[in-house]
Amino acid sequence: MIKYGGIKAKNIGKGNAIMTKVIFLGTNGWYDTDTGNTICVLIDSPSFSIILDAGNGISKLDRYADFSKPTYLFLSHFHLDHIAGLHTICKCKFHLGLWICGQQGISTILSKILDTPFTIPAKDLPFDLQFIELPLQKDLIPFSVESLPLLHASLTMGYRFEIDNKTITFCGDTGYCENAVRLAENADLLITECAFRPGQESIDWPHLNPETAAKISKESMAKRLALVHFDAEMYKTLEDRNIAQEYARKIFPDTIVTVDCMTIDI
């Protein structure tokens, strides 16, 4: 089912099977507005909590996450709208610690940010924090994850998770590229950005519009597409997102546009 702030919108569950919940904590790109916080998604599986990016939406994590489960945070890249919320994780009670996963060099980069004068130093957080650099250290992760570089202005990683018999793909900031199609192949759910308005493109600043996001879903034969990371300057209202959904559905009918606090069960 899909819920908007706890309201059921559409039943798409799979019988009585154990569900994995995907909760969209932040759905904006660039900056926060009345339409939502910057990008953060929680995959709440029966065994693990998996967080995708750490925009300001991650400040809601303590309202939705089960901190008794192992928790892994995957960062697509280091643009500020994807990491700005890291300064709020000090309020979280990760009983088993937190693993932050991403591209090579992540420990060096975040060790500078998670320190004075920017925020509470990592060593002073009320839980154990460890970094995992991908793909070299992926054996440290207790579930299947594939990572590939995407097409963006700086190195950005896309992720494919296979967990509890479900496949979920996350493509943060990217333009159309073959690696996105590969990661999304036959996925139960493809979560991908939609920063641009219909028809908009840029060679110098690669992002997806609703048509190119839908093209990736169609070519990869993904089962469902969830659009996220709507550029706050271009998508000023939720109605603007609904227009994007109309364009995407012409190419890939099983498309939804996300809003903050929406939950999808898969």
67-119 tens-digit pLDDT: 999 999 999 999 999 999 999 999 999 999 999 999 999 999 999 999 999 99
pLDDT band with cut points at 50, 70 and 90 for residue 12: very low
pLDDT higher than 70, residue 48: yes
Domain holding 174, by residue range, is: 2-265
pLDDT of 181-192, one tens digit each? 999 999 999 999
Helices (H) and strands (E) in the chain, counts: 5, 17
Smallest CA-to-CA distance from 191 within 162, 219, 221, 222 is with: 222
Q: What is the pTM of this model?
A: 0.93
Q: And the tokens for 151?
A: 């097409």
Q: Are strands 189-193 and 166-171 parallel, antiparallel or unpaired?
A: parallel
Rounded CA-CA distance 22/158 in Å is 17
Contact assessment for residue 11 and residue 20, using Cβ atoms and an 8 Å cutoff: no
The count of structural domains within the chain is 1
Share of the chain above pLDDT 90, in %: 92
Q: Residue 103: what are its φ and ψ, rounded to 5°? A: -65, 160
Q: How far apart are CA 266 and CA 262, in angstroms?
A: 13
Predicted pLDDT at 203? 87
**4-14 average pLDDT score:** 40
- Which of left, alpha, beta for 249 (phi over 0: left; psi -120 to 50: alpha)? alpha
120, burial (CB in 10 Å: exposed 0-12, middle 13-18, buried 19+): middle
Give residues with Cβ within 8 angstroms of 28, minimum separation 6.
Answer: 35, 36, 37, 38, 39, 55, 81, 229, 230, 231, 232
* β-bridge partners, 36: 33
The CATH number for 82's domain is 3.60.15.10
Q: How confident is the model at residue 19 (pLDDT cuts 50, 70, 90)?
A: confident
